[in-house]
């Protein structure tokens, strides 16, 4: 999708759809201009209560055909009801709701392009309150591009009669202020890239596990590199190579499957940061998780194809960095395997030796993600990283603790944690910091090995993070548990693309 910005006004900008806005019972400038031209057609929608005062309420108006009229359709979108009689502060939550509704409507409409007059809020002297900060046109343009990209995603890969592809292929951020437009262009590029990365993550997560295997992900890494204008390189390690490195924990998970495990290494070098120490992303890529010998219940087991969403978010983040030509140096490590029950699969009570030399008693084969991650975290040491962030659908306990709204964040380095938390707020992809206290480490004690791979029923997300922390002592490290945020269940079943927005905003600001 093409995103562009233009200095123009609603009565002269040629477009198939002019998207204009109301704030309560007030029409913003572009909506007011159309209203006056059309004899009160828009204000009547408010007066007659056809347009509700809830954020995201919208009404379409199809105009009679006139050769001189630059717009064919008008969409009037409600930003919400002012908190006071003369309130000029607009909450970002209301604005994001309105942008999402606008984007979804456009994605289902028979229009190829749309001019968006959301910049009118600044012309009206209004401000956007986002958390404790006031944000400007750049933030707004980024969120608009992300919303439009996300709204146009359709899963079609395995459908014999897929839903129609959205017609929308061009969005114009329109303003009468040339100075604000200077802030908008790079923000549109960034938002478009993040949205593209989110959709790529969703696509990988939604693919069935008989297609999206470790080998498939390895091939995707090569394709991503081939389309990167030589900014990204990709290679992978097979099981024999991992055996030579002593990755006993990783291989204990992969050995029960006919699909060979893979460790993918992608490296992105932005132009001005190629020689800087890299930031490392580590993604858990269990392309299907049966639980192994500790077999999961059958209900909803199909959703265990989403157990590779940590890896998918790493892929999506790398795609976004490539598309926006980010000036950063990032290494991505994707640990991909299937966790299957078989005659040679790991058993509860087995003891394996990790790449670090530490031994692990496997008390539950369904706690496999930490086993592939711990060896990958050790492998990350060779890059002498500036930071390491691992992303994993690691524990159901995190869903119990935080639900589906916030990603669980653990870190051994508070400045890194603070940057990730700030990136989550900035991008509306929030995380919440959880404790990583020594008291929890005792739950991993084993009579027969250096540690067990589970810590008992209490604090399951915390003890999983404690386990990983034992392999991340040589660099600033953070762990993102996305078990509650990586996908939706029920009627909305599908991958969400989180936390790509958080990761990309962290990386470009780090």
- Residues serving a catalytic function are 296, 370
CB 105 within 8 A of CB 19: no
Alpha helix segments (H runs only) across 227-308: 239-245, 248-254
Nearest to 143 by CA among 426, 355, 389: 426
Rounded Cα distance, 367 and 356, in Å: 19
Tell me how far apart the alpha carbons of residues 504 and 159 are, in angstroms, rounded to a whole number.
31
State the alpha helices, DSSP H only, in 227-281: 239-245, 248-254
What are the structure tokens assigned to 389, written together? 């962030």
Instruction: Please state whether beta strands 262-269 and 26-27 pair in parallel, antiparallel, or not at all (unpaired).
Output: unpaired
Query: What are the φ and ψ backbone dihedral angles of 133, each rounded to 5 degrees?
Result: -120, 160
SS (H, E, C) 341-391: CCCCCCCCCCEEECCCCCEEECCCCCCCHHHHHHHHHHHHHHHCCCEEEEE
Q: How many Å apart are CA 42 and CA 151, to the nearest integer?
A: 25
Quick one: tokens of 404? 């589906």
CA–CA gap between residue 281 and residue 383 (Å, rounded): 12
Judging by DSSP bridges, how do beta strands 494-495 and 351-353 pair with one another? unpaired
C-alpha span between 306 and 288 (Å, rounded): 7
39: alpha, beta or left? (left if phi > 0; alpha if psi -120 to 50): left
What gap in Å lies between CA 267 and CA 278, rounded to an integer?
A: 9
Euclidean distance between CA atoms 390 and 317, whole angstroms: 13
DSSP state of 166: P
């Amino acid at each position: 999708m093409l995103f562009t910005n233009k200095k123009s006004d609603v009565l002269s900008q040629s477009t198939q759809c002019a998207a204009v806005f109301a704030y309560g019972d007030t029409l913003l400038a572009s909506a007011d201009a159309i209203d006056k031209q059309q004899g009160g057609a828009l204000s009547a929608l408010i007066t007659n209560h056809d347009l509700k005062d809830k954020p995201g309420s919208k009404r379409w108006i199809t105009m009679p055909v006139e050769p001189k009229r630059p717009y064919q359709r008008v969409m009037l979108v409600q930003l919400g009801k002012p908190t006071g009689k003369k309130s000029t502060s607009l909450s970002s939550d209301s604005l994001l709701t309105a942008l999402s509704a606008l984007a979804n409507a456009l994605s289902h409409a028979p229009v190829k392009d749309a001019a968006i007059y959301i910049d009118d809020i600044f012309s009206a002297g209004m401000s956007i309150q986002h958390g404790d900060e006031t944000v400007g046109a750049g933030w707004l343009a980024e969120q608009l591009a992300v919303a439009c990209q996300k709204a146009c995603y359709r899963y079609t890969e395995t459908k014999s009669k897929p839903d129609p592809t959205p017609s929308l292929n061009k969005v114009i951020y329109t303003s009468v202020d040339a100075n604000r437009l200077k802030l908008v262009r790079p923000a549109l590029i960034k938002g478009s890239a993040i949205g593209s990365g989110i959709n790529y993550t969703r696509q990988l997560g939604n693919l069935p596990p008989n297609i999206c295997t470790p080998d498939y992900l390895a091939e995707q890494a090569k394709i991503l590199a081939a389309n990167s204008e030589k900014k990204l390189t990709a290679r992978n390690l097979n099981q024999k190579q991992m055996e030579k490195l002593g990755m006993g924990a990783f291989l204990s998970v992969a050995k029960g499957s006919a699909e060979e495990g893979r460790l993918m290494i992608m490296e992105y070098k932005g132009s001005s940061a190629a020689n800087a120490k890299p930031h490392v992303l580590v993604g858990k890529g269990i392309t299907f998780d049966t639980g192994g010998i500790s077999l999961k219940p059958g209900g909803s087991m199909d959703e265990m194809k989403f157990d590779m969403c940590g890896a998918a978010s790493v892929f999506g983040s790398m795609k976004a960095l490539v598309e926006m030509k980010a000036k950063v140096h990032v290494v991505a490590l994707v640990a991909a395997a299937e966790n299957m029950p078989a005659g040679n699969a790991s058993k509860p009570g087995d003891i394996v030796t990790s790449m670090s030399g530490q031994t692990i008693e496997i008390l539950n084969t369904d706690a496999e993600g930490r086993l592939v991650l711990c060896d990958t975290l050790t492998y990350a040491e060779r890059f002498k990283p500036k930071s390491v962030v691992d992303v994993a659908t690691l524990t159901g306990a995190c869903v119990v603790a935080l639900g589906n709204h916030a990603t669980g964040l653990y870190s051994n380095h508070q400045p890194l944690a603070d940057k990730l938390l700030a990136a989550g707020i900035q991008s509306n992809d929030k995380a919440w910091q959880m404790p990583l206290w020594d008291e929890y480490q005792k739950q991993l004690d084993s009579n027969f090995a250096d540690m067990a791979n589970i810590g008992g029923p209490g604090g399951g997300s915390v003890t999983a993070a404690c386990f990983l922390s034992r392999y991340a002592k040589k660099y600033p490290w953070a762990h993102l548990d996305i078990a509650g945020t990586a996908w939706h269940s029920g009627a909305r079943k599908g991958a969400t693309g989180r936390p790509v927005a958080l990761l990309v905003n962290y990386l470009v600001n780090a």
